[in-house]
Structure 1
């Protein structure tokens, strides 16, 4: 299949029950277990600090709402609605959210689910 459409009506955020991203909400639009080479979705995070010791994939984020600070291998940047972020695979990442942030993510390759 050379094109796929996902209707906005079908995008539903679900709570992540455990693992690194526990107690966040996610809608996997093109899931990591799917038939695409990339994954994509919407992720909502609440006040927290989340540490990823070694990022399994390259990641592009587009911030829809709110703001967060990301430390990637010691380089710290603040992101807010309208900003893009590129995060390199293999980096140690620390996500700091003071209140709430919602973003679109696109990953490559499509194998980011490493802890369940």
Structure 2
């Protein structure tokens, strides 16, 4: 079953697991906690990519188990945070920090 995502602006787009992988990779590789890069991931893009793939796989399983065809973007992000908190709390913090910053920018 094809899933769709309801974006913040109300648009509905097809679900794409690559978007989750990219977001987690960026949080791991470029993310900062208390102004400092997350060492193990920042210096090792392979490790950051592995984490991104693991989280995306887990979130994908969650999404496929949801009974509805459409999910809100916030639901997806909450799934990402849930799995990051288990696999890498520091990347989870960086992801949340980025998410919060974007929310502030949107007003």
* Higher strand content, 1 or 2: 1
TM-score (norm 2): 0.23
* Higher helix content, 1 or 2: 2
